[in-house]
Amino acid sequence: VLFSLLNLYTKFIVFINLFKILITTNNDLLSENKGVKVNYNGVKRGAELSLQRRITETQTMGNIGESMIDNEVVPSSLVEIAPILRVANEVEPSNPRVAYLCRFYAFEKAHRLDATSSGRGVRHFKTSLQWQLERENDPTLIGRVTKSDAREMQSFYWHYYKQYIQDLQNDAEKADRAQLTKAYQTENVLFEVYRAQVVETDLEILKAHDKVAGKTQIFFSYNNLPLDPDSVNQTIMRFPKIRAAVYALQNTSGLPWPNNYKKKKDEDILDWLQAMFGFQKDNVANQREHLILLLANIHIRQYPKPDQQPKLDERALNEAMKKLFKNYKKWCKYLDRKSSLWLPTIPQEVQQRKLLYMGLHLLIWGEAANLRFMPECLCYFYHHVSF
């Protein structure tokens, strides 16, 4: 009997241990299943985010025209169409159909520039723009005011010309130069798109565009001083010290211009030096501002104060000459050379000759690139050129 009881007890203990093992295994399996479920939810969530991202990207591609002028969107090989897309974004609130026509013209121009889409990012850009054009064609066509796209462009061109170009030109004294320049650029794009829509250009529009084109050539970029003829009423150009330096430089009487040279309005001494020696255009523009500001600052610091009339003080000229040619005179003295600086006997020509010497010195310095860090080379060049 004792043996039987002991045998039953042993079996009971074994059964209990087996039961514990089964429970533990089941819990582990449940935990693993929960882990799989959690991982599955994570994959599912990632898939949802990926899908949402693709939807967002598709919607963004549809609005790609809103940031067309961004260098990250417009490929570098198609940079010429960036102004057209900028104008499309600008006029879209007032006339969506004109904005569509501008984008369509930009698409055609992009295809002409890179027909095989071999440039980096060109294929994706053209595909996105084409998708946007297909999406915008019908809504903008319904909202078109006139019967044809050509008439729509013609009507909008006149509207923009009268409302922006003429109004700004009539109030030139108060007009912001940057705003006027932007209006000229927009007009040029609208005219380009208009010509693409018509077979024969309207003569009145052509005359209006020619006037704007003439103004656009006058409005060149500058650093500090707007020296174009239309900027004489700008605040900085009204200062007596600035006007005195500008008027002094415009004295080109008696200077022999090259044969077959077409003189322009308000040319000055630096223009003559450019025509004679072939200095670069941008260098001439930079050194013109440099010389005017140098003379104006020295002029205003004279004591007793100069006259308020726009006439450059002779003391300012002499001080500027002394400052610019100090090193050149030392160079001549060291090499025992006679200076190339000599002044005419006629008093009326003395100021002009001094300005010629200073302008030539600054233009050589501006063209010298790294040689400007070797003063002896500049002195050598100036000595032989000025002679």
* pLDDT tens, residue by residue, 44-74: 444 444 434 443 333 334 444 444 444 347 8
258 and 199 co-located in one domain: no
C-alpha 177/C-alpha 212 separation (Å) is 14
191 and 329 co-located in one domain: no
Whether residue 272 has pLDDT greater than 90: yes
Residue 55: its pLDDT value, please? 34
The H or E element that residue 127 is part of is helix 122-142
Whether residue 353 has pLDDT greater than 90: yes
Q: Please report, rounded to a whole number, the percentage of residues in the chain having pLDDT higher than 90.
A: 21
C-alpha 223/C-alpha 289 separation (Å) is 8
240 and 204 co-located in one domain: no
Residue 185's nearest CA partner among 70, 98, 84 is 84
C-alpha 256/C-alpha 276 separation (Å) is 9
379 and 275 co-located in one domain: yes
Q: Which residue has the higher pLDDT, 182 or 59?
A: 182
Answer whether residue 291 is part of any domain: yes
Given 218, 246, 276, which residue is the final one in a domain? 218
Q: Report pLDDT digits (tens) over 117-159.
A: 888 888 988 889 889 899 989 988 888 888 888 888 888 989 8
70 and 204 co-located in one domain: yes
Whether residue 10 has pLDDT greater than 90: no
Answer whether residue 16 is part of any domain: no
Q: Contact at 8 Å (CB) between 208 and 162?
A: no
Residue 184: its pLDDT value, please? 82
Given 179, 195, 218, which residue is the final one in a domain? 218
Sign, CA dihedral 264-269-275-281, equals negative
259 and 284 co-located in one domain: yes
Q: Contact at 8 Å (CB) between 68 and 111?
A: no
- How much is the average pLDDT of 232-259? 85
Grade residue 170 by pLDDT with cuts at 50, 70 and 90.
Answer: low
Give the domain CATH number at 82: 1.25.40.270
Which of 258-267, 281-290, 314-323 bottoms out in mean pLDDT, i.e. has the lowest? 258-267
- Per-residue burial over 308-347, b if 16 or more Cβ lie within 10 Å, else e, is eebebbeebbebbbeebbeebeebbeeeeeeeebeeeeee
Answer whether residue 7 is part of any domain: no
State the residue for tokens 């899908």.
51
C-alpha 355/C-alpha 201 separation (Å) is 48
State the residue for tokens 């208009």.
194
Q: Which residue has the higher pLDDT, 116 or 309?
A: 116
Residue 171: its pLDDT value, please? 62
C-alpha 377/C-alpha 379 separation (Å) is 5
Answer whether residue 43 is part of any domain: no
What residue numbers bound the domain in which 327 lies?
Answer: 229-386
Q: What angle do CA 63, 79, 140 make, to 5 degrees?
A: 35
Answer whether residue 20 is part of any domain: no
Q: What is the CA radius of gyration of the chain?
A: 38
328's CB contacts (< 8 A; 6+ apart) are: 339, 341, 361, 379, 382, 383
Answer whether residue 50 is part of any domain: no
240 and 207 co-located in one domain: no
257 and 363 co-located in one domain: yes
Q: Please report, rounded to a whole number, the percentage of residues in the chain having pLDDT higher than 70.
A: 73
Select the highest-mean-pLDDT range: 10-14, 74-78, 235-239, 280-284: 280-284
Total-model pTM: 0.57
| Helices 375-386, 347-367: crossing angle, 10 deg rounding | 140
111's CB contacts (< 8 A; 6+ apart) are: 126
- How much is the average pLDDT of 298-315? 78
Answer whether residue 10 is part of any domain: no
State the residue for tokens 């440039």.
119
Q: Report pLDDT digits (tens) over 251-269.
A: 998 889 888 888 777 789 9
Whether residue 39 has pLDDT greater than 60: no
150 and 288 co-located in one domain: no
Residue 322: its pLDDT value, please? 92
234 and 378 co-located in one domain: yes
Whether residue 244 has pLDDT greater than 60: yes
Whether residue 221 has pLDDT greater than 80: no
300 and 352 co-located in one domain: yes
- How much is the average pLDDT of 89-95? 90
Q: In this structure, what are the phi and psi dihedrals at residue 192, rounded to the nearest 5 degrees?
A: -65, -45
Residue 38: its pLDDT value, please? 37
How many domains does one find in the chain? 2
Answer whether residue 264 is part of any domain: yes
Residue 351: its pLDDT value, please? 92
- How much is the average pLDDT of 363-376? 83
261 and 211 co-located in one domain: no
Given 218, 239, 271, which residue is the final one in a domain? 218
Residue 363: its pLDDT value, please? 93
Grade residue 387 by pLDDT with cuts at 50, 70 and 90.
Answer: confident
